[in-house]
Amino acid sequence: MASDLFCVMPCFLLGYSVVYSWLTYQLCWDWDVYLPYYSVTLSAEVFTLTRFLMVLPILFGLVYMTERNVKIRLKDIPAFLLAALVGISLYQTLFVASLRYTTASNSSLLIAMSPLFTVIGLLLTKKEKATPTRVIGSFVAVMGVFMIKGLGDVPFQFSWDSLRGDIIALLASMLFGIYPFTLTRLQKTYTALTITLYTALFGSIFLAIYSGADWLRTDFTTLPVATWGSLLFAAYPVTAYSLVVWNYGIEKVGSSRVMPYMYLVPVTAIVIAMLWIDEGMNIWQACGAFFILLGVGVVRQGEQWLHGWKQRSSSKRQQPFSSFLSGDTRL
């Protein structure tokens, strides 16, 4: 149960972040229209670099207080660099960038597809056992995702206008799907907190290489309140908390059981969108939410359910024979 909570909370926060970030960019756009002489718009790279620079001191302090050792081995640096490039620099930047060019519905749908890429990776690499219940549960959850997004009052739609954002979101989804594989070697030596600290550190270095100049030219004093709110939320709840416990979940129960919780992102996104931007939920979307929860449940508990069903079936088949041997011929 504790591991479930660790996995669900990051999904909730990410779903919240999708809607909140989308709203922020709409506000920033309006800010540009009405206040052209005072407008400041953060690029996806500057936004991502800023949030990780904000969270690095917190992560460093947590590692120092809990482990008293912040050192890593030199031979592990290449593995940290790869994980940082895939899971921080590229994924985080593309995720934020997609919100500029497509809708919250499209973005949350495509990002939620990342577990499919994880399942494909598991089948190809055979690093974890992709059991039938996990595969079936994943596809049931995918059906739910498409019901939520495809049959909603504001359904997803791929058009030329949003094509760029949709492609960016799909690339981000692929990167997040393969991100757990970059952590496999590191998880044998380091805790989730240490991994998060150094992937954030090296990811920030990558971001600084190609966006540092833009970051230095940014006048943060002129940013609107909405942008600061999005930065603070993305830095602390979504990164300092969610990224740590997400890595912890992968470390403890494996990527094949953790990644399907990403299917909950559209559910949280649409519920929060109902409250913030008056998006509605119809009966098909409610059914989709049920399928998502069912699919995640099958992934999480499917093996136990199947084992229990087999035991009950076996005991029922053996009961008449046992009664016959004991001389009980009552009808």
What pLDDT is stored for residue 224 in this prediction? 80
pLDDT higher for 161 or 170?
Answer: 170
Could you report the per-residue pLDDT of 220-272, keeping only the tens digit for each?
888 887 778 778 877 887 777 777 777 777 777 676 667 767 777 767 766 76
Whether the Cβ atoms of residue 296 and residue 141 lie closer than 8 Å to each other: yes
Mean pLDDT of 112-121: 77
Q: Is residue 267 part of a domain?
A: yes
Q: How many helices (H) and strands (E) are present in the chain, helices listed first?
A: 14, 0
Q: Is residue 15 part of a domain?
A: yes
Please tell me the total count of domains within the chain. Answer: 1
Q: Is residue 262 part of a domain?
A: yes
Could you report the per-residue pLDDT of 267-316, keeping only the tens digit for each?
776 676 666 666 666 777 778 778 877 877 776 666 666 666 666 666 66
Q: Is residue 104 part of a domain?
A: yes
Q: Is residue 245 part of a domain?
A: yes
What gap in Å lies between CA 146 and CA 162, rounded to an integer?
A: 18
Question: Length of the chain, please?
Answer: 331
Its domain, for residue 276, covers 2-127+158-280
What gap in Å lies between CA 23 and CA 100, rounded to an integer?
A: 10
What gap in Å lies between CA 11 and CA 6, rounded to an integer?
A: 9
Q: Is residue 28 part of a domain?
A: yes
Please spell the DSSP secondary structure of 149-185, one letter per residue: HHSSSS-----TTTHHHHHHHHHHHHHHHHHHHHHTT
Return the number of other C-beta atoms located less than 10 Å from residue 55's C-beta. 23
Q: Is residue 330 part of a domain?
A: no
Whether the Cβ atoms of residue 12 and residue 261 lie closer than 8 Å to each other: no
At residue 36 the predicted structure's pLDDT band, cuts being 50, 70 and 90, is very low
Prediction pTM value = 0.70
Q: Residue type at 304?
A: Q
pLDDT at 40 over 50: no
pLDDT higher for 273 or 151?
Answer: 273
Q: Is residue 328 part of a domain?
A: no
pLDDT at 80 over 90: yes
